[in-house]
Amino acid sequence: MKCPNCSSKDIGKIGSHQFYCWGCFIELTVNGEKMSVYQVEEDGTLSSLDDLFFGDELPQDFPHLHASS
């Protein structure tokens, strides 16, 4: 799996459907067929980056993300 932002393969699993990129420090959440991307702010809150990356579609590089790991 590669990060949609920086293409790093240094992705960690932080929850049942949540991943974190150690290359660019974004959080990825997978819910069924939909992936959401968030920037982690200094105070720990998340800001959505979905409109910058995907629109309404799951990228082709990530069809396996909704499968159990």
Whether the model clears a pTM of 0.95, i.e. scores above it, the answer is: no
Question: Taking the CA of residue 2 as centre, how many other CA atoms within 13 Å lie in the half-sphere pointing to its CB?
Answer: 8
pLDDT of residue 54: 65
Ranges assigned E (strand) in 1-69? 11-15, 18-21, 26-31, 34-40, 46-48
Please give the residue range of the domain that contains residue 37: 9-52
User: Is residue 41, in this structure, part of any structural domain at all?
Assistant: yes
Per-block average pLDDT, block size 10, for the chain (69 residues)? 88 94 92 87 90 61 47
8 A C-beta contact, residue 37 and residue 47: no
pLDDT of residue 15: 92
| Token representation of residue 8 | 């790093």
Provide the number of structural domains found in the chain. 1
Q: State how far the Cα of 41 lies from the Cα of 9, in Å rounded to an integer.
A: 22
User: Is residue 64, in this structure, part of any structural domain at all?
Assistant: no
pLDDT of residue 34: 84
